[in-house]
Structure 1
Amino acid sequence: MRFSWIVLLLLSFPVLEAIGIFWAARYIGGWVLLWLLLAAVAGVMLIRVERVAWGARLLFSVQSGANPLASLFASGRILLAGGLLVFPGFISDVLALVLMLMPGSWGRRKLDPMRPANDDILEGEFRREQDDLLR
C-alpha cells in the first residue's frame, strides 16, 4: 500500500511541476523562462563545484577527527540540491533551497581549538621532580 503511494507521488511530481510552471507563466509571463534557465545554470555550477570539493571535504573531516559520513552526507545533499535545481519547476527549486539551507551538523562534532581531536593523547612537556623525603 505504501509503495503505491510513493509511486503515485513520484509519477505526479512532473505533472505538478508543469502545472506550477504554467500557473506562474500566466501571472508573471516570460520571466518564468529566465527563472528556469538561471536555476538550471545554478544547478549545473553547484554540481560542478561539489564534484571537485567532496574529496577535500572528506579529507579534512578525516584529518580533523570528525565523522567522515557527515561530510559525505553533506556532499550528497548538495549534489541532490543541484540535481533538483536542474530539474525544471518551482517545487523542485524550493526543495533544493531547503536542502542547501539545512544545517550540515548531522553527527558532526564541533571542534574546539584547545581540545585535541583524540582525547586520549595529551601533548606537552614534562619534568620529573624528586621528593627530598624519599631519599
Structure 2
Amino acid sequence: ICECITSAPFDAIDITREAIKDGADAVIAVGGDGTLHEVVNGFFCKGSPVHALDQGPDHSTALGLIPLGTGSDFARTFGWTNDPHEAIDRIVRGVKSKLDIGMMEGPDGNPHYFVNVADIHLSAKA
C-alpha cells in the first residue's frame, strides 16, 4: 500500500500513471468528482490505456473510490454516501462493477476521459 497525496491540480493523473506502470493492483481515489476525474485520466496516456511495465498482458489495475467530495455525483449515481467506512467495506469485500469510460477531444486535440458526466463550463444543479 502506497499513500500518495496531491499538492497541485492534475497531480493525481501523474500519480495514477506511475502506480499503474509500477504494477499496482488498484488505485483508490479519495475525494470528490474532481479527484476521480483526474485518476480516471491517469489510466490513459496519449489516447491509450496505461499498462504495467513488468506485468503480463492480463494484469489490470482496478479503480476504487472513497467519496469525500462536496457533490460526489458519481457516488450518488450508485446510491453511495460519503461515509468512508462504507466505501472501505465495499473495497475490502471486493465489490466490482464494470464502468463505461467516455472520451472527448479537447480544443487542444488531446483526449479527456470521464465516467459519468461531461460539461463545458456549464452544468445544471438539480
TM-score interval, normalised by the smaller of the two chains: under 0.3
TM-score using structure 1 length? 0.26
More helix by share: 1
More strand by share: 2
Which of these two proteins has the greater Rg computed from alpha carbons?
Answer: 1
TM-score using structure 2 length? 0.27
